[in-house]
Amino acid sequence: MAFDSLNALIVMEGHGPYVWTCYGVFFLLLGVLVWWSLRERRQLVREQKQLQQQKTEASPLQAGSTAGSFQRINTSRQ
Amino acid sequence: MWQFFHKLGSPKWFYGIAGRFMPWLLGIGLLLALSGIVWGLGFAPKDYLQGNSYRIIFIHVPTAFLAQSVYLMMAVAGVVTLVWKMKLADVFVKAVAPVGAALTFLALFTGAVWGQPTWGTWWIWDARLTSMLILLFLYLGVMALGSAIADEKSAARAVAVLVLVGVVNIPIIKYSVNWWNTLHQPATFKLTEKPTMPPEMWVPLLLVVVGLYLWFGWIALYRMQTEVLRRERRSRWVQDLMHPGGRSDVSSGGARADGV
C-alpha cells in the first residue's frame, strides 16, 4: 500500500479532491450510460409485448403459432 | 469467408452470437479494470514530480485511448455502410456514438482536473486539448445527425459521410503532442519502445486500458442488440422473442436467443 492510513489515502497529500472527483465522475457517467442502455431495452421489450398482447386478444387463433408455417428470416441485405 | 460475411448481415444471427460473448466481456472487463483502478489508486508508488495527482492517469489515458479507437471503429463501419450497405455497420455507429461521447468527455474532464494541480490551469487552447474537444463535437454531431433524419437509409449514409470527414481529426490528436510542443506531455505508451514508467505504474494502467476495452465491447453489443430488436420489431423472430409468456431473457441480452 502506498499510504499509511485510510485517511492518507483520502487526502493524498492535498491532491485527494482532484483525484477523487475524477474517479467519482468516471463511475457516475459510465453508470448512467449503463442504466440508460438497460432502460432503453426494457422499454422496447415492454412496448412490443403489449403490442403482441393486443394482437393475441384481437385474433387468438393466429397469434403466436409458428407450427406448419414458413419462417421468414430477414437477412437485411438490400 | 463470404458465408461469414453474409451471416454478419443477418440481425438474428448477430443477436444470438452477441449474447454469447457479452457475459465474458462484462465479467473479465470489470475484473481487469477494477483491479487496475484499485492498484493504481492505493498501491502504485507516487510520482516523484507530480505527487499523487498523477493517479488520475489510470482513468485519463484509458478513456482518451478508447475515445479515439471508438471513433476509428466508427470510421471503418462508415466505409462498410457506404460500400457494402451492411445495416449492422450503421447499427454499430448508432449504438456506440453516445459511448464515445461519454469517453471523450471523461478524457477532457479528468484532463482538466489533473491540469489544475499540475499545470496550474484547467484549460488552455493547446493542440491536444482542442483536437479532443473537436472529437467530442464530432460524436455529438453524429448523434444529432442520426436522430434528425427520419429515413433510416438516408440517415445511415449521412452519418457515415460525417464520420469519415471527421476521421482526419484522429491523426491530429495523435501527433499533436509531437508537432506542437506545448503543455500536454507526450504519449505514455508507444508500441515501438519500452515504457518510461516503472512496471508498478504501467501494469495497472494497462489493466484498466484492456478492461475498459472489454467493457466497451459489452456495452456496444448490448446497445447494438437493442437497436437490432427495434429495427426488426416487425419480423417473425423478434415477435416470437417478444411473445407474452415467451422468453424472459430478452431484457438481459438473451444469451440463448439464437435457438429461437
pLDDT tens, chain B, 260 aa long: 556 666 666 888 888 889 999 999 999 999 999 999 999 888 888 887 788 888 999 999 999 999 999 999 999 999 999 999 888 999 999 999 999 999 999 999 999 999 888 888 888 888 888 999 999 999 999 999 999 998 888 999 999 999 999 999 998 888 887 777 667 777 776 666 666 778 888 899 999 999 999 999 999 999 999 999 998 888 888 888 887 665 556 766 554 443 33
Q: Does B189 touch chain A (CB under 8 A)?
A: no
Q: Does B249 touch chain A (CB under 8 A)?
A: no
Cα radius of gyration (chain B): 20
Q: Does B11 touch chain A (CB under 8 A)?
A: yes
Q: Is residue B112 part of a domain?
A: yes
Mark B38-71 as b/e (b = at least 16 C-beta within 10 Å).
ebbbeebebeeeeebbbbbbbbbbbbbbbbbebb
CA distance B98 to chain A (A): 8
pLDDT in tens, B5-39: 666 668 888 888 899 999 999 999 999 999 999 99
- Stated as kind and residue range, the H or E segment containing B36 is helix B11-38
Please name which of B242, B245, B244 lies closest in space to residue B15, comparing C-alpha atoms: B242
pLDDT value of position B245 = 60
Amino acid symbol at B222: Y
Q: Is residue B140 part of a domain?
A: yes
Q: Is residue B8 part of a domain?
A: no
Q: CA B94, A32, A10, A5 torsion: positive or negative?
A: negative
Give the C-alpha separation, B25 to B221, whole Å.
10
Cell of B50: 507530480
Burial of B178 (0-12, 13-18, 19+ CB in 10 A): exposed
From chain B, the residues in CB contact with A15 under 8 A are: 51-53, 55, 117
Indicate left, alpha or beta for B180 from its phi (over 0: left) and psi (-120 to 50: alpha).
beta
- Counting the structural domains of chain B, the total is 1
Q: For residue B242, give the nearest of A21, A48, A66 by CB distance.
A: A48
Can you give the CATH number for the domain in which B196 is found? Answer: 1.20.120
Q: Is residue B1 part of a domain?
A: no
Give the C-alpha separation, B155 to B142, whole Å.
10
Q: CA A38, A40, A46, A52 torsion: positive or negative?
A: negative
Task: Please give the sequence-ordered ranges of beta strands (E in DSSP) within chain B, or none if there are none.
Answer: none
pLDDT value of position B256 = 44
Q: Are B1 and A70 in contact (CB under 8 A)?
A: no
Q: Is residue B237 part of a domain?
A: no
Q: Are B166 and B74 in contact (CB under 8 A)?
A: no
Give the C-alpha separation, B93 to B176, whole Å.
26
The residue segments making up the domain with residue B177 are: 22-232
Q: Is residue B260 part of a domain?
A: no
Categorize the per-residue pLDDT at A16 as very low, low, confident or very high, splitting at 50, 70 and 90.
confident
Give the C-alpha separation, B3 to A68, whole Å.
28
From chain B, the residues in CB contact with A66 under 8 A are: 236, 240
The whole-number average pLDDT for the span A42-55 is 87
Q: For residue A44, give the nearest of B10, B37, B229 by CB distance.
A: B229
The residue count of chain B comes to 260
CA distance B141 to chain A (A): 18
SS3 A74: coil
Q: Within a 13 Å sphere around the CA of B181, how many CA atoms are in the beta-carbon half?
A: 0
A19-23, A27-31, B47-51, B149-153: range with lowest mean pLDDT: B47-51
Give Cβ neighbours of residue B130 (< 8 Å, ≥ 6 apart). Answer: none
Q: Is residue B148 part of a domain?
A: yes
Other C-beta atoms lying within 10 Å of the C-beta of residue B223: 23
pLDDT value of position B254 = 52
Query: Do the chains contact at B117 and A64, CB–CB below 8 Å?
Result: no
Q: Are B18 and B221 in contact (CB under 8 A)?
A: yes
Q: Is residue B26 part of a domain?
A: yes
